[in-house]
Amino acid sequence: MLKKLIIIVAATMMLIAVPAASDEDNTVKIKANLAKLGLQVETVQASKMDNLFEAITDQGLFYTSADGSFLIQGKVYQITDDGINNLTEESLAKVRVDGMKTFSDSMIVFPAKDEKYQMTVFTDLTCGYCRKLHNQIDEFNDLGITVRYLAFPRGGLSSQSYTDIRSVWCSDDQQSAMTQAKGGAHVAQKVCALPVAEQYNFGRKIGVSGTPAIILNDGNMVPGYKTPDQMQQILQSYSVNKAG
């Protein structure tokens, strides 16, 4: 019995003596393993779920084991006495807020004269609902909603939709170019240094898969087309909840 006890104590001491992998070690392993899948990892942090790590990549948010040998794509929820929290959306919201700050100077903006709210819209020139939303710009503005556009050419960076939307961003009068292009007019080809491709890549990273995709100032995403009245109600609701 004593011999067994000595063996158990010795084994326990060996486990204690082995240092846990540091956050830096975990990050290195996760980046290396995800790179094998063509994923470029930007940040790694421990999630609220034990032994699960969040990896923000150029293609979205993934969850991994500490060494990156197991990969999960999907949403993680936390069940509490107060309800259910979408941890994935909470993490992505922070990334969206930071990204919107980065691209604030390169957005095409249609400001409301009496601004009460802002909505940032990932848009494409050929998207039917994007055109419908743009046709109602005056109605959004009249409700005090400023509309800020980011580029998201659905065909990708090798498509004509990218070439056209880049030309809109590079136009001398961006607002007029946007309105004309969404009305079906020919887009004169232009190239400039504005980060249009970077806007598209940012959209992919934060979960945009179609257009229009609407981002609120707190980072929450509202997918799909919404009427001006619907957006006013959504924005009012978020403002009340934030104040509360």
Residues of the chain with pLDDT under 70: 1-22, 240-244
pLDDT at 24: 80
* Whole-number Å distance between alpha carbons of 136 and 96: 25
**Reported pTM:** 0.85
Specify whether the CB–CB gap between 117 and 215 falls below 8 A. no
Kindly name the residue from 96, 148, 154, 166 that is annotated as catalytic.
154
pLDDT at 243: 57
pLDDT at 237: 87
CA 133 to chain centre: 21
Virtual torsion, Cα 178, 182, 188, 193, nearest 10 deg: 40
DSSP codes of every residue in 209-233 = -SSSEEE-TTS-EEES---HHHHHH
Is 105-243 CATH 3.20.20.100? Answer: no
pLDDT at 240: 65
Treating both helix axes as pointing N-terminal to C-terminal, what angle do 196-205 and 160-169 enclose, rounded to 10 degrees? 120
pLDDT at 238: 79
What's the pLDDT tens digit per position in 155-212? 999 999 999 999 999 999 999 999 999 999 998 999 999 999 999 999 999 999 999 9
pLDDT at 25: 81
Paired strand residues for 151: 123
Kindly name the residue from 96, 127, 164, 166 that is annotated as catalytic.
127
pLDDT at 16: 36
Is position 114 annotated as part of the catalytic site?
A: no
Domain with CATH 3.10.450.70 in the chain: 2-74
Is position 124 annotated as part of the catalytic site?
A: yes
Q: Give the dihedral sign, CA 197/199/204/210.
A: negative
pLDDT at 189: 94
* Whole-number Å distance between alpha carbons of 206 and 220: 11
Is position 82 annotated as part of the catalytic site?
A: no
Name the token pair of 31: 């980046």
* Whole-number Å distance between alpha carbons of 77 and 42: 23
Considering only CA atoms, which of 110, 91, 124, 62 is closest in space to residue 220?
A: 91
Specify whether the CB–CB gap between 47 and 92 falls below 8 A. no
Kindly name the residue from 96, 124, 131, 164 that is annotated as catalytic.
124
pLDDT at 241: 63
* Architecture of the domain defined by 2-74: Roll (3.10)
Domain with CATH 3.40.30.10 in the chain: 105-243
Report the phi/psi class of residue 12: left, alpha or beta, with left for phi > 0 and alpha for psi in -120 to 50. alpha
Kindly name the residue from 130, 131, 148, 164 that is annotated as catalytic.
130
